[in-house]
Amino acid sequence: MKRTPAMQQAAELGQREASIELLERLDGARWVRFDRERLLVVAWSGGHGIHAYDLEGDEVSFWNVGDFAKEDADIKVVRDSIERTIETGGFP
């Protein structure tokens, strides 16, 4: 089916809305990585939770890291967990 200009415009609007939703979720994040192979964005905004979002901004995975006796997980622990998860594809 050939796309009409109206169909193209609607598709572009949908993509913009998805991009805005993803950007809103990432706003204020302290560490963000992109998993190009799986087209996922992984973000940590402090605390112990790490979130993975698809390109539409929907959360597709979540996991916790770090010592819960502390308010925030250590950045090295966060980075290592994100890197290991992207490398192995072992998203919870």
- Domain coordinates in residue numbering, the chain: 5-88
Instruction: Give me the pLDDT at residue 10, please.
Output: 56
Do residues 56 and 18 lie in contact, with contact meaning Cβ atoms separated by under 8 Å? yes
pLDDT at 90 over 70: yes
User: Could you tell me which of 76, 80, 72, 82 has the C-alpha nearest to residue 32?
Assistant: 82
- The Cβ of residue 53 has, within 10 Å, a number of other Cβ atoms equal to 20
Tell me the pLDDT tens digit for each residue of 51-80: 999 998 999 999 999 999 999 999 999 999
Q: For the chain, how are helix, strand and coil distributed in percent, rounded to 5? A: 40, 25, 35
Instruction: Give me the pLDDT at residue 76, please.
Output: 97
Is the pTM higher than 0.85? The answer reads no
Residue-averaged pLDDT of the chain: 90
Tell me the pLDDT tens digit for each residue of 32-42: 999 999 999 99
